[in-house]
Amino acid sequence: MKQSEIKNLSVAELQVQLGQLKKAYAELKSAHAISPIANPLQIRSARRVIARVATELSKRELQ
**What is the tally of structural domains in the chain?**
1
CATH number reported for the structural domain that contains residue 17 in this entry: 1.10.287
The pLDDT value recorded for residue 19 is 97
Could you report the per-residue pLDDT of 27-58, keeping only the tens digit for each? 999 999 999 999 999 999 999 999 999 999 99
Cα–Cα distances (Å) from 27 to 37, 57, 59, in that order, read 11, 23, 27
pLDDT average, residue stretch 16-26: 97
Task: Say whether pTM exceeds 0.75.
Answer: yes
> Whole domain around residue 44: which residue ranges?
3-62
* Distance in angstroms (rounded) separating the CA atoms of residues 30 and 36: 10
